[in-house]
Amino acid sequence: MNIKIARIYERVSTSEQDLTRQADIEKTAIASGFYIAGIYRENDFDRLNISEKRGEHNRLGYAVLLCTVRYLGRFPDLTAIIPVAVID
């Protein structure tokens, strides 16, 4: 038996938008026979937090973290690959 698995990442670009259309994705996935392993939703706090991380000095690193979460469904264990001097 082949189980179809989906992780859904719902987001909007501005605070004037809402997740109504994105929520329909969950219904469509279930109707198509997918098991929903996780649903991730951004809110106003998330958008503010992300916008604060978009500086020249950290834009790429933060983008890598967000994409990792999107595709793996979790944050990577960065302590295994980042030198202690950088963490401190």
The alpha carbon torsion through 9, 15, 21, 23 (nearest 10 deg) reads: 50
What are the extents of the domains in the chain?
1-42, 53-88
Q: What's the residue count for the chain?
A: 88
Say if residue 13's pLDDT is above 80: no
Cβ(39)–Cβ(26) under 8 Å? yes
Cβ(49)–Cβ(27) under 8 Å? no
Task: Convert the pLDDT of each residue in 66-81 to its tens digit.
Answer: 777 777 777 667 667 7
Q: What is the pLDDT of residue 86?
A: 63
Instruction: Specify the 3-state DSSP secondary structure of 44.
Output: helix
The answer, as to whether pTM is greater than 0.75, is no
Say if residue 21's pLDDT is above 70: yes
